[in-house]
Amino acid sequence: MEKVFVYGSLRTDFWNYDKVLKNRVRQVEKGQIKGDLYHLPAGYPAVILGEGTVYGEVITLSQDKILKSLDLLEGYMGEGEENLYVRVKQKVHLEDGSQQMCWVYIYVDEKVAKKAGKYIPHGDWKEFKNNKK
């Protein structure tokens, strides 16, 4: 089964989880990755390579084909294409202290993220969104 680290609207309690993932996952675990997190003007988050910590969840998909639905949602058309995000394997540190290699969507245009986005130093988009209300 494929595992995906999600840090934005695909996390539980958010709209894209309900729309795309609800009843299609085997397990949800809290985790964190290395990277820098930004909130983009379009209303969604972007992770770029960096030394910060980004908090999210590891979603174990019930079927591998669901990954293609996530690719479409995240604007990932495959290697060599003009992608909004790229999907890469990255080490995720889980809450229980273990580590797993999981798919992560990394924002392609680092310059846009840094220039137009709002940096989230605490690394948790869910907390950022909840505090904006």
**Catalytic residue list:** 74
Task: Give the bridge partners for 86, in sequence order.
Answer: 106
Distance between start and end Cα atoms, the chain: 36
**Dist. CA 46–CA 119, nearest whole Å:** 10
Q: Check if the beta carbon of residue 38 is closer than 8 Å to that of residue 32.
A: no
Handedness of CA 115, 116, 121, 125 (dihedral sign): negative
Instruction: Give residue 109's Cα distance to chain centre.
Output: 15
Residue type for 133, please?
K
